[in-house]
Chains A and B, each alone.
Chain A
């Protein structure tokens, strides 16, 4: 540390002092939290070890291991994880009782049943990507932990199960209490910050996007970030409800806010996309539409967060919401005026075809966008002062991994464990039992993480490190010490080392592996056994087990292969099929959340294939645009059909409804099985439907049919959604088959059926 060269003006000592102070502040801000966390974890581990030894539980190390597995920086996360850990342990123990009770006399069948159970649990753990997955992991490997050692001695099963539950509960209770009481860190405190930065980021994005100041790469990056934000906010929220009763009150608002955010960002993208198409579009009138429409877009961002009064906290958002309301109130009239001007200008420039349709589509999207933006801002404002109606239960979006992925993960566990089991039975190696248990643990633990391969190899490295550390502890240190305080002194350096590793995301797997297996190798019992041969046999078993788990992730359908990306893309397309043909209730939440969940899964695949997020994103946008338009179409037709059935002229009404149904079917078909031919088909049907709609509107407005004002407005909206679908199908950058050559050959105009 060298003082600044011109330190003549301020006294030298003061400058050095300031430097030190800055450094200390920097350290306090960045590193102190993780050191507090390490100290808390260490304290919890040693405390639970002490209690377990005082109560003379048979395996005090289990309590200590539990602490390392359960401890998380946020106290809500600890409570959540603890809850599911206890639940999983109890279920696993009960199942092991059942399995041993059924097959006590046939070790082979007993082992096979245990392996099958672990496979099922691993599949369940992969399917659920929140803390619930942890209950599945535990239910799986607790069964192995309890049942496998008793294969040779089935009578001890009940005692083994009770002991295990006791020790795990002890570790869980100690870590929960310590993490909630000693320097607690709350996820609930992180939420306002996350929500604010997302709001500000979104306002900037709106400004940049609507002004056309953002390129394709920037757009992709921002959208990947938004997808991540949606999912991580949901995760933080699900943890924070455990922390503080006040947070629980706000939880439904956060859920709704997440939905609102998804809706509004989809709409923004649709609007942006429409303008891109207008810019690149072949129709010469497009520029005219843009010219007339753009002033509206420029007004929005300043409404949300004006430079004179930026939105810094939830309470500030109330003013933004009110500004949006007044903007929205005047909007339809202004748009109508602009539409007339545009029509006149179009006539003057002799380019009236399609001009008004483009404008109507843009206007409809803008109205919807402002509505959704208002909903989002309103939810944000409600965070400051929730009203009774806003705290009612809302359905959170639950991330779920695809069924196939989960099944593969379960199968992987079964194959890996069967290999171990065969090896054990064939060689009758005394440590085979341990190998069995820990292979199960490693496979299940790794399967629930975003990058199982890295975690599995991390566990392997951790085990390799734990071998010498454990040996030093057991054979060199333990003979020298006496009493619990000295035991703490001996254990601390190793445990702190492991904990420090877990603080770095890159090394987290290694750290966790080290801690778990170090506790197993060196965790003291009340009476310590010195048996070097047994020790090295066991450690060899552990290393083989984790190595085998890592090998299973490399060899059996590794998550990094391109096959998975194709699978996820297929699931993404299925979302549109779902929108076309499933029940309407709750569909938009399922659709929005599910689509983003899939993209998130695709983004996790990115270790080897760099372009996976791009591929997934381009599909996501297409799916969201078309899916939303289909949803709106369904809503509009439903509202027209149910509110007042139109008596006169059945044939005519059936006519346009039939074309709409045909469009929906064609789109469904296209997303079920995308081919160039089907794309052309869908395009033709959509164009035809637009033409039919326009003809119907024309006839309706001349008064020859029994449609009223509301119906005509609905039909205008239907036409604009159809137009939007058509422009999405025509898009040159779309991931649908055909590519740029399709856009050149495809007919762009609307056929004349009137």
Chain B
């Protein structure tokens, strides 16, 4: 995957697209975890969610920067 691509004549970094892609993904995972009730077992749910998001974003980012 290239690091930039053109969007209506504007250069957009691929990471931005990946960021937008990981938001719905995170939302899905969030719903799933809530449904299983696993948030009650976590010490700091907010920290958990943020870290999880960083994991998703980082993993997808590896597609571009490997």
> Which of A's residues lie within 8 Å of B, judged by CB?
75, 177, 180-181, 184, 243-246, 249
Contact = CB atoms under 8 A, between A and B. Distances in A.
Contacts of A245: 30, 33-34, 39, 45
A181 B39 contact: no
Interface string B9-38: 000000000000000000000100110000
A608 B30 CA distance: 50
A584 B28 CA distance: 38
Given A245-B30, A245-B39, A181 B47 contact: yes
A75 B30 CA distance: 18
Which 7 A-B pairs give the minimum distances between C-beta atoms?
A245-B34, A180-B46, A181-B47, A181-B46, A184-B46, A245-B39, A244-B45
B50 interface: yes
Given A244-B45, A245-B34, A177 B39 contact: no
Contacts of A177: 50
15 contacts: A75-B46, A177-B50, A180-B46, A181-B44, A181-B46, A181-B47, A243-B46, A244-B45, A245-B33, A245-B34, A245-B39, A245-B45, A246-B39, A246-B40, A249-B34
A246 B49 CA distance: 13
Contacts of B30: 245
Contacts of B46: 75, 180-181, 184, 243-244
Contacts of B50: 177, 180-181
A180 B49 CA distance: 10
A299 B33 CA distance: 46
Nearest to B31: A245
A681 B34 CA distance: 60
A77 to B, nearest CB: 14
A494 to B, nearest CB: 30
A246 B59 CA distance: 27
Nearest to A180: B46
A156 to B, nearest CB: 16
Interface residues of B, number: 10
Contacts of B40: 246
A247 B45 CA distance: 12
Nearest to B44: A181
Given A181-B47, A244-B39, A249-B34, 8 more contacts: A177-B50, A181-B44, A181-B46, A244-B45, A244-B46, A245-B30, A245-B39, A245-B45
Contacts of A244: 39, 45-46
A184 B49 CA distance: 14
A245 B44 CA distance: 13
Nearest to A79: B46
B6 to A, nearest CB: 16
B61 to A, nearest CB: 16
Contacts of A184: 46
A250 to B, nearest CB: 12
A245 B27 CA distance: 11
A239 to B, nearest CB: 15
Contacts of B44: 181
A733 to B, nearest CB: 52
A752 to B, nearest CB: 66
A184 B45 CA distance: 11
A187 to B, nearest CB: 13
A75 B45 CA distance: 13
Contacts of A243: 46
Nearest to A245: B34
B64 to A, nearest CB: 19
Nearest to B30: A245
Contacts of B39: 244-246
A619 B28 CA distance: 49
Contacts of B33: 245
A180 B50 CA distance: 9
B36 to A, nearest CB: 11
A181 to B, nearest CB: 5
Nearest to A176: B50
A346 B34 CA distance: 63
For B34, B39, B46, which residue has the most chain A Cβ atoms within 10 angstroms?
A: B46
A82 to B, nearest CB: 14
Contacts of A246: 34, 39-40
Contacts of A75: 46
A243 B30 CA distance: 13
A243 B34 CA distance: 13
Nearest to A179: B46
Contacts of A180: 46, 50
Contacts of A181: 44, 46-47, 50
B52 to A, nearest CB: 13
A181 B44 CA distance: 8
A9 B3 CA distance: 78
A181 B52 CA distance: 13
Nearest to B40: A246
Nearest to B35: A245
Nearest to B51: A181
A181 B53 CA distance: 14
A189 to B, nearest CB: 13
A184 B44 CA distance: 10
B31 to A, nearest CB: 8
Nearest to A177: B50
A180 B30 CA distance: 16
A43 to B, nearest CB: 16
Contacts of B45: 244-245
A177 to B, nearest CB: 6
A188 to B, nearest CB: 11
A249 B34 CA distance: 10
A246 B36 CA distance: 12
Nearest to A248: B34
B47 to A, nearest CB: 5
A641 to B, nearest CB: 46
